[in-house]
Structure 1
Amino acid sequence: MKKGLIFSCLLVAVTSVQAAPISLPYQGFYQRLKQVNKGNYPLIEIAFSVPNKSRCLIKSGTLTTENESFPLTITEDQRIFLPYDARLKSDRALVNLDIEGSADNCSISMQVRAKNTKQSYSQKEVQELQTEMNTMLSDMQGFPMRYFSQDIAGVNFEFKPGSKISVYIDGKEQIVSDKLRLSSKQIEELSVIEFDTKPLVISPWTKG
Structure 2
Amino acid sequence: MKKVLLFSCLMVAVTSVQAAPISLEYQGFYQRLKQVNKGNYPLIEIAFSVPNKALCRVKSGVLTTEKESFPLTITEQQRIFLPYDAKLKSDRALIKLDIDGPSDKCSIAMQVRAKNTQQEYSQKQVLEIQAEMNRMLSDMQGFPMRYFSNDIAGVNFEFATDSKISVVIDGKEQIVTDKLRLSSEQINSLSSIEFNTKPLVVSPWTNG
TM-score by length of 1: 0.97
Who is 1:142 aligned against?
Answer: 142
Who is 2:4 aligned against?
Answer: 3
1:44 and 2:47 correspond: no
Residues 155-207 of structure 1, C-alpha deviations (whole Å, 9 max, x = no match)? 00000000000000001000000000000000000000000011000000001
Q: Distance in 2 between the 1:169 and 1:134 partners?
A: 23
Q: Which SS does the other structure have where 1:127 is aligned?
A: helix
Total equivalences in the alignment: 205
Superposed displacement of residue 2, structure 1? 4.2
Q: Which SS does the other structure have where 1:110 is aligned?
A: strand
> Gapped runs of 5+ residues in structure 2?
none
Who is 2:30 aligned against?
Answer: 30
Superposed displacement of residue 102, structure 1? 1.7
Superposed displacement of residue 3, structure 1? 2.8
CA RMSD of aligned residues (A): 0.8
User: 2:123, 2:192 within 8 Å by CA — same for their partners in 1?
Assistant: yes
Q: Which runs of 4+ in 1 moved over 3 A?
A: none
1:124 and 2:121 correspond: no
1:68 and 2:71 correspond: no
> Gapped runs of 5+ residues in structure 1?
none
> How does 1:83-162 map onto structure 2 within 5 Å?
83-162=83-162
1:12 and 2:15 correspond: yes
Q: Distance in 2 between the 1:61 and 1:42 partners?
A: 28
Q: Distance in 1 between the 2:126 and 2:67 partners?
A: 45
Letter in 2 for 1:11: V
Q: Distance in 1 between the 2:25 and 2:138 partners?
A: 25
Q: Distance in 2 between the 1:164 and 1:130 partners?
A: 24
User: 1:2, 1:206 within 8 Å by CA — same for their partners in 2?
Assistant: no
Superposed displacement of residue 4, structure 1? 1.5
Letter in 2 for 1:38: K
Q: Distance in 2 between the 1:131 and 1:54 partners?
A: 34
Who is 2:80 aligned against?
Answer: 80
